[in-house]
Amino acid sequence: MTKRLFLFLLLALFVAVSIVTLKVTPLQAEETVEVMLPGGYRIEPVVTGLTFPTSIAWDDQGRMHVLEAGYAYGPKEVGPGRVLRIEGGVPTTVVDGLNSPATDIKFKEGEMYIAHRGTLSVMRDGGRVDLITGLPSGDHYTGEIAFDDEGWVYIGNGTVTNSGVVGDDNFRFGWAAENPNLHDVPAKDIRLAGHNYESLDLRTPNPADKTVTGGFSPFGTPTAPGQVIPGNLKASGVILRVRTDGSNPEVYAWGLRNPFGLRFDPSGRLIAVDQGYDDRGVRPVANAPDPVYEIVQDGWYGWPDYVAGIPITDMGFRSSNQDAAPAFLMAEHPPLQQPIATLSPHTAAMKFDFAPRGFDGEGKMFIAAFGAGDPATGVVGEITGSKVVTLDLATGKVEDFAYNRSRKPAGRNLSGLNHPVDVKFGPDGSMYIVDFGVFEINGQVPNAVPGTGVIWRVFRQRSEYAEFLSETMKKLESAPPWNPDYEPLRAQVEEWVKSQPTQWGVYFKDLTSGKTFGVNEKLPVPAASTVKVAVVLFASNLVSQGKLSWDERLTYYADRDWRSGAGTMQYTAKDGDSFTIRELCEKAIRDSDNVAWKMLERRLGKENLISFMWGLGGKNVYPGGQNISTAKDNAVYMEAALNFAKESPEGGKLIFDLANTVWNTGLNRYIDEVVVAHKEGDITGVADDVGIIYAKHPYILSIMSQGHDDVEAGFELIGQLSRMVYDYQVGLEK
């Protein structure tokens, strides 16, 4: 199938098989899903317990169908490829007995088309009709199906080998021993340069035996300069097309390595995602990106002698265990097509789709990235992919869209993505990610785990935070006018503060009447993480003014940005990793991530931030350069964030994140009746919290304290004080 996806299919004896139950899964709790998304999107698993799913499609009635690959050479418990219909929450097998691996399903005019190893079929008149059969397969297989408006069906078929020569790596994959005459087949006649390659002869019991093999030839068969290899319709590394009735099969384009993703874009261009070479075998190729091509009829795309439009002889493609870059296999080359974009080496780009306007206003291309991590591909220790990326075909810009917080496959806990293999937009406008499942590497042995495949749904919140803002803003606007008396509450708070052995500053503001009171509200206290409200508010303001972009990426430098304390980036970020401004802002508020905070502060400029805070009305802003504030100043920044949210959608996301932080031990410790949008902060001896409490008459409460032997005890007291204030406010409303 692909250079990385189904290596385990060819080493099936090492696969552990378990008995699993397919199930339709309801919305999973957000805190258990470790997938990062841009603001305004959510993700949920909708089908779990799948075994090696590779494709998703919907019939004319809107019913979901999922294709399971089956097992090429593996245990019978897994069985052949099959199609499942998910209807009313119940999975039903509707097609079985497919060649493994089965790789794609599509519906056209009420008929189901299926790509499975060596074959393109259609379910017609109650049975299966094979439109194309006998395609060569080894390292790679059939890919995705596409349709045009003129009655043609298109399908990609990958190459037998990595780079044109059968070698000992193909014996490790299993197929070379079972199919000794199998080799790559060109679509058209080619003339060879006559280069031959020596490798261990794994056909014999003597481990010292060696043999020589040429390009486009069976293992152990050398070639001569000028030798002609005849072309064939049933070729490797091609895109074929055929009429829906099976007539007029033809090669549409050739010279591709593994055109696994294939689809017409909204403008009518046929787009293919091709997978780059691996650094393995007798003709290894290093640093090969995954190219994206516009496919034109009779176009040649360079395999096996060009890498994304660049000659394979370029020293940039030299393997670390070779003295020179690879030589050309072909003596002559047809005119070469260039890629329209490239993805990073070992992305293992798979299938893709174009977003409807309701999901993404720019109509970007969304690509499933399976990822590497397999020693057999020459990337020992490297982990890439396990994500969905976007590609802007107009600019070539690639960005991460959905990825795990850890930047690694989720593993057996299934808390996030493992190995996405397909992305499609369903009838409901949501994105559906086909996650192949757990694919582990134990030494040199790949181990795919049945029953770990998942269908994920990503949907626009319409927007969740916009809905949240609508509701909370309504609460602000609908609060009936009143003239409350807060003197009894102020006296109660003052008495409580005096009874504490630690130092406390408190500031309160009713958002309906505008009445305020404070107790030691100007007491300077370390602000800790509460300052992140001002930092993210500053960034949001700059975005709204067009002076900053949410999509701008900042590079992490450990020597400057590393901070301990809250957040996971201190453990997961590596030198050179990059993160968008939006991602860092969300991490800084929701996770209170200190690394994200310092990266934002570096980008924004501390002096600029100080000026911004002064402009909001802060009075005690970084005195002597220290992160110190007061309860009143923190309330000023929180109110500024609320006012900004009324004016700009960029501010709405900040309030939403404040209401969905993972830290909830302070102001809302004992308040679960209403929404509390807040920001906690603590360092040694210090416990702070500031927030908006959405009672019938909403209010802002800011509490800062210092001198605690136990910070957790400090937050317990903040919770008690917050409840005292809440009860008074609610009591006035009755």
Min mean pLDDT across 1-5, 46-50, 479-483, 701-705 is at 1-5
Task: Report the pLDDT averaged over residues 337-342.
Answer: 96
pLDDT at 5: 35
* 202, part of any domain: yes
Average pLDDT over residues 568-579: 84
**Can you spell out the DSSP letters for 671-682?**
--SS-EEEEEEE
Q: What are phi and psi of 411, to 5 degrees?
A: 80, -160
How far apart (Å, rounded) are the C-alpha atoms in residues 477 and 635?
A: 20
How far is 641 from 658, CA to CA, in rounded Å?
A: 10
For 716, the enclosing helix (H) or strand (E) is helix 711-733
Look at residues 127, 595, 672 and name the one whose alpha carbon lies nearest to residue 405.
Answer: 595
- Same domain for 537 and 415, yes or no, is no
Q: What is the DSSP string of 527-560?
A: -GGGGHHHHHHHHHHHHHTTSS-TT-EEE--HHH
Within a domain: 704? yes
- State the pLDDT confidence band at 21, using cuts at 50, 70 and 90: very low
Looking at the fold, whether 438 and 484 belong to one and the same domain comes out as: no
**Is the confidence at residue 628, as pLDDT, over 80?**
yes
Q: Show the CA angle centred on residue 66, arms to residues 447 and 360, nearest 5°.
A: 100
Same domain, 264 and 342: yes
Give the 3-state secondary structure of residue 36: strand
Angle CA(129)–CA(135)–CA(137) in degrees, nearest 5? 125
Instruction: Pick the more confident residue, 13 or 394.
Output: 394
φ/ψ of 475, rounded to 5, equals: -65, -40
Instruction: Return the C-alpha torsion angle 676, 682, 686, 687, nearest 10.
Output: 20
212 and 241 in a common domain: yes
Cα–Cα dist 349/338, whole Å: 18
CATH code (residue 157): 2.120.10.30
Minimum mean pLDDT range among 61-70, 370-379, 465-474, 625-634 = 370-379
Residue 292 domain flag: yes
pLDDT (mean) for 33-52: 85
CA distances from 213 to 117, 163, 194, 195, 198 (A): 26, 13, 10, 9, 7
pLDDT surpassing 90 at residue 77: no
For the residues of 565-601, what is the DSSP string, one character each?
Answer: SSSSHHHH--TT-EEEHHHHHHIIIII--HHHHHHHH
Sheet containing strand 53-58, edge to edge, reads: 53-58, 64-68, 81-87, 90-98
Whether residue 599 sits in one domain with residue 530: yes
Residue 63 within a domain? yes
Q: Is residue 1 part of a domain?
A: no
Same domain for 546 and 533, yes or no, is yes
Distance of CA 23 to the CA centre of its chain: 23
The pLDDT of residue 1:
35
In this model, does residue 375 exceed pLDDT 70? no
| Residue range 127-181, pLDDT digits in tens | 999 999 999 999 999 999 999 999 999 999 999 999 999 998 998 777 888 898 9
Average pLDDT, the chain: 88
Structure confidence at residue 505 (pLDDT)? 96
Contact 234, 242 (CB under 8 A): no
d(CA 419, CA 447): 13
Give strand pairing partners of 445: 442
Asked if 272 and 242 sit in the same domain, the reply is: yes
| Domain edge (last residue) among 432, 460, 488 | 460
Residue 628 sits in a domain whose CATH number is 3.40.710.10
Question: pLDDT per residue over 192-247, tens digit each?
Answer: 999 999 999 988 889 899 999 999 999 999 999 999 999 999 999 999 999 999 99
Q: Among 442, 460, 478, identify where a domain stops.
A: 460
DSSP 192: B
Residues 572 and 523 in one domain: yes
pLDDT at 382 > cutoff 50: no
Whether residue 591 sits in one domain with residue 556: yes
Overall number of domains in the chain: 2
One domain, residues 420 and 561:
no
Q: Do 24 and 155 share a domain, yes or no?
A: yes
In Å, what is the CA distance from 463 to each residue of 244, 357, 432, 470, 478? 42, 14, 18, 10, 22
Task: Report pLDDT for 436.
Answer: 93
| Tokens (6 digits) for 469 | 């803002």
d(Cα 712, Cα 689) in Å, to the nearest integer? Answer: 13
Within a domain: 30 = yes
Q: Which domain holds residue 374?
A: 7-460
* Residue ending a domain, choose from 435, 460, 485: 460
Residue 332 in tokens: 């002559």
- Distance between CA atoms of residues 618 and 638, nearest Å: 11
The reported pLDDT for the residue numbered 357 is 74
The β-bridge partners of 507 are 518, 702
Three-state secondary structure call for residue 475: helix
Q: How confident is the model over 280-299, as a mean pLDDT? A: 96
> Of 298-307, 403-412, 558-567, which has the strongest mean pLDDT?
298-307
pLDDT band at 26 (very low <50, low <70, confident <90, very high): very low
- What are residue 595's phi and psi, to 5 degrees? -65, -45
Q: Note the pLDDT tens digit of each residue in 494-550.
A: 999 999 999 999 999 999 999 999 999 999 999 999 999 999 999 999 988 889 888
Predicted pLDDT at 33? 63
Q: What percent of the chain has pLDDT over 90?
A: 65
44 within 8 A of 24, measured Cβ to Cβ: no
According to the model, what pLDDT value does residue 538 have? 94
Where is mean pLDDT largest: 303-312, 652-661, 703-712? 303-312
Q: What is the pLDDT of residue 383?
A: 47
Does the pLDDT of residue 662 top 90, yes or no? no
At 103, the pLDDT band (50, 70, 90 cuts) reads: very high
**Which residues have C-beta within 8 Å of that of residue 405, sequence separation ≥ 6?**
34, 35, 36, 416, 568, 572
Residue-level pLDDT at 16:
30
Please tell me whether residues 456 and 468 are part of one structural domain.
Answer: no
